[in-house]
């Protein structure tokens, strides 16, 4: 079971932790077909969807879980 905690009062940002107390990780595909695993800094609501804020190539970016990243 994952634990989640809201980061603001209106509930549009949250973090998720696994049962070991580590932040959730997601795998995202790159253009070349490689899968990269990144730790989610926080989740943010985007209409009816959610974006994940991750660190990629030294920058923090917000991506959908279906996003294809550049190499």
Strand-by-strand arrangement of the 13-17 sheet? 3-6, 13-17, 42-46, 49-56, 59-63
Q: Mean pLDDT, to the nearest integer, of 37-63?
A: 96
Q: Confidence class of residue 1 from pLDDT cuts 50, 70 and 90?
A: low
The reported pTM is: 0.89
**Which DSSP category does 24 fall into?**
P
pLDDT tops 90 at residue 2: no
HSE-CB of 9 using CA atoms within 13 angstroms: 0
Q: Write down the residue that tokens 């899968």 correspond to.
A: 35
Residue spans of the domains in the chain: they are 3-69
pLDDT tops 70 at residue 16: yes
Q: Mean pLDDT, to the nearest integer, of 32-54?
A: 96
Considering just the CA atoms, what is the radius of gyration of the chain in Å?
13
């Amino acid at each position: 079971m994952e634990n989640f905690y809201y980061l603001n009062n209106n509930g549009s940002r949250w973090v998720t932790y696994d049962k070991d107390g580590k932040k959730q990780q997601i795998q995202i595909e790159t253009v070349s077909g490689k899968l990269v695993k990144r730790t989610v800094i926080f989740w943010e609501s985007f209409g009816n969807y959610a974006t994940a804020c991750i660190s990629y190539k030294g920058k923090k970016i917000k991506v959908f879980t279906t996003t294809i990243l550049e190499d």
